[in-house]
Structure 1
Amino acid sequence: MKGDIAKIGVADIVKALCLIGKSGRLKIKAEGTEGAIYLKSGNVIYAEEDELRGEDALYSLALKSSGSFQYEPVMTLVDRNIHIGSETLFIGLSSQVDRYHYLLSRSPGFDDRLLAKDPGDMEKYDEKTRQILRLVSKPLSLRDVLRRSPYDRLRTLEIISKFYLNRTIKVVGKSSVLVKEEVEEANPSSLEANLKVVSIGEVVQILVLIHRNGHLTAVWDDREGDVYIEQGNITYAAVEQLEGLGAVYRLLTWKDGYCQFFADLSPEKRNIQKNIESIFVEGIDILAKFNKFMDEFPSLNAYVDVISVTGQETISGKEAKILKIVNENETLNDVIKHSPYSDVETLELAAKLYSQRMIGLSKGVRGQKEVDYDKEAEDLLKDLL
């Protein structure tokens, strides 16, 4: 899973990953630096950025305003350097981020070139203040000051905002140099995820937890889905011919594919009124049933076929519909794709037809090399002789 820090801040994504209990590494590339944050079972255990370690590194990374992050569910052995609990950590992060944004509102823009007037007797300032004033003794953008400062961003910005307000530091123009993150081709999506790494249910949870509204698109082979999130709830969903809650529950069963989130987009219509908590409670039950019925089949890519029509007159209308779809398609996944019913109901109907020996597995699994058992036996016999 990866995202744009300008659209989803580091503090937000760290908090969301912790709240859903994830373990792994969050790699961050931002404003000319690289860093990493490690999580274990919903707790931050390690952070680094250049020479910074522990909480200092975490707070520094949380204040980045541009760049990218990438989450990977891998665990590398690290010497734990963050020992405080998540709740205390979140309070600290929120405090730092809020203070930083307050100071930004009282400071020049990132690309404003700053120049310090003669501050007079430098000895009256502490060493940190003198260092910052020396940095802006020649025109330098605020972005470059923050990057070159030997101190953390918050302390540096406090000094800059103080001297900007008392007019010791003034703006003398705009920087003509853009940082790498700004000249790269813009990606309109805020968040992207491989559904093998992070499930679509987890992506939705993250977006709800960080209070993002927008459009989530999902693709798996030739299947496409759309979900809109507004004010912490799913308000629209569609997958293939399914719409509404059925589409949400179908998406929750996807174990492969790719999704992208586009912020601040609204649906043309709304087809879901149920709150997110109820959807997830029902979703957990549906996933359990889905996995139960999948025990009957080796894979969604398993080839299925009608092997008998005996007793067809006794089956239900829904079962007859699935039997017809099986006859017209190849794999179980194809059957689900073309079914007018939810994934779970389709699997339940297919499993019932399978137990009645009306449908069966035909030629293995799509994507796997078919085995010619006659040739295998012939080759084995030659070897024995």
Structure 2
Amino acid sequence: MSTITTRAEALALDRTDQLGTLREAFDLPTGIYLDGNSLGPLPRVTREALQHAVEIEWGNDLIRSWTKHGWIELPQQIGAQIARLIGAKPHEVVAADSTSVNLFKLGAAALRLQTGRRVILSEPGNFPTDLYILQGLTGFTPGAELRTVEPAKLEAAMDDQLALLVLTHTHYKSGQVHDMARLTAAAQKRGALVLWDLSHSAGVLDVDLNGCNADFAIGCGYKYLNGGPGAPAFLFVAERHQAKIASPLSGWMGHASPFDFTDDYAAAPGIDRFLCGTPQVLGMRALHAGLSVLEQVKPRQLQDKARRLGQIFLERVLEAGDGSLRLLSPRDPAQRGGHVSFAHEDGYAIVQALIARDIVGDFRAPDALRFGFAPTFLRYVDAWDAAEALLEIVATKSYDDARFRTRAAVT
């Protein structure tokens, strides 16, 4: 993938960018926002959708809105919107709960399918909530064991005791992308099931769950899907598993006939059995609106632009820097998701100095500076200017100020 050497070249790329008009769909802060991989910006249509949901649907129509405004169907409608972005069929995805809850649901359900197998395999350094949930799950499952091995040793660690492989497709810190097709096939060859966390992939990479024969997947709605803070998450269950799999959280929305109000649980057919409690309507409305921004865009277009944005930033920092910033992400864009990370012993202070200039990235302990390149609203010139600002701050050590070193509760 070719990169550029001047700011003028970045501006030229913006003039021919086929996704450039998407920027107009968002309310953006001043400066350069490089944290869409953590929280996507506000789509303009979302404000209108929430205003209608609050004032008309809730404020006037109240309980009638479950049918009049289709509240009850939002989990499936949003699932279908997400399905086209991750290579799934509409009836294989549903929006519900949080990523952590969905991981527990699918992890427990997968173990139930695996008679005589109790080993869950993941990697050290996976996103903490994934490991925490899996640790908690093993505590509720007699004989279950969580093993973690480095990525290069994953296939060697797959044995006849393996029940479930759980990996984050795009690593939250480095941006390294796993080979979904290869690892899925390797695990299934040993009789295991595979669960992918797509939180840093959905909406920025060209994911193909069915093409890779994936079993299960989860993901969040507030990053590249622009669903807002704490947006509902989603889960995927391949059609071939849906009739035989059972959710451990058998809530009333997962019942075959929830409004019959019977005492005994009977699972709904298909993906609906993985619903649990009442849908979070305002959150669903915001996610539904945010996803509409992506409806006319192909996942491959999003992927190509995100990787090129990241490459412009990455190459400029490496070529013009003093070497104190150590690249944590793959230099090869084909192996990288939508964000780029560098390491520096003063990483937190550097990020704060950038934020003081209205260039917003984030920090991940112990030393990672992380920059997200959401292709829907960022310009190529933003990637260039952000790199230049980072280089200047590091070169002048302007980050070496007490106000930049005080840790906030959220980094």
User: So what's the TM-score if we normalise by structure 2?
Assistant: 0.29
Higher alpha-carbon Rg: 1
Report the TM-score, using the length of structure 1 for normalisation.
Answer: 0.30
Greater strand fraction, Structure 1 or Structure 2 = 1
